[in-house]
Amino acid sequence: MIDLDAKDGVAWLRLNRPAALNALDRSLTGALEQTLARVAAMDDVTVLVVTGRGRAFCAGNDLAEMTTLTGDEAEALATRQAALLDRFAHLPQVTIAAIDGWALGGGLMLAAAQDLRVASDRARFGLPEVTLGFNPAYGIARLLDVVAGGWACELLLTGRTIHASEALRMGLVNRVVAPPTLEASVAALAADIARAPRASLAATKEVVAAIRRGERDRSPEAYGAALRTSPEARARIRAFVERKRRASR
């Protein structure tokens, strides 16, 4: 259900239920839980790209399975999926969603859980839950953090589907590219990020997450810790200063 491969500091996680538009059922949820445990332990991976095979990034929760669940079972699954999004957000790696095709419901929330989002111009986004008689099961707080409140509420309350270009205007995605160039564009972005030390990226992610949680800005402590404990940071600073010195001669 999931393909995971890594090379040169970048791992690609591909949802692999194309016939079901990569919908999140209990089996895929369990597979993602296991895969994230593996990714978190990959010390040689700096960037994780999340994408889907076929015509969808992820169509959200599997509605066919939902018709078979009791209310308690549905709540238990949604609780697991909410925790899963938190695990994505707290990975030490920088995460990028590469979105082609449908990103609906929980699929949109999965994209919002990543640090960055790049979409093809045939990507479509929506939260149709309200039109089906229920609310999104998880991810609302994170969506409100990613997208300005008015836009997020419009998505939540209308259930309408939007084009990638509108998602870009809302701030839901960072970039929109032509479909044939999506993977190459994301690979180039990932490689660019992976050139930075993994520790500095992880520290920056944690500072941002703490500020979003309403905690005080701990940037000075993280900055000081890097200079105290990271020989790589000092070496890179010295190399940068030397390059500037040579360039000014």
Cβ(205)–Cβ(115) under 8 Å? yes
The residues, ordered by sequence, that sit 6+ positions from 117 with a Cβ below 8 Å of its Cβ are 96, 97, 99, 111, 172, 173, 174
Identify the residue whose tokens are 């419009």: 154
Query: d(Cα 125, Cα 43) in Å, to the nearest integer?
Result: 33
Place of tokens 């309350």: 157
DSSP letter (8 states) at residue 41: T
DSSP 149-217: HHHHHHHHHH--EEEHHHHHHHTS-SEEE-GGGHHHHHHHHHHHHHTS-HHHHHHHHHHHHHHHTT---
Q: What are the tokens at 178?
A: 């032509």
Q: Considering 65, 75, 129, 166, which one is annotated as catalytic?
A: 129
Dihedral sign for Cα atoms in the order 151, 154, 155, 156: positive
CA distance 208 to 44: 23
Q: Which two tokens stand for residue 28?
A: 């895929």
Check if 129 is active-site. Answer: yes
Catalytic residues: 129
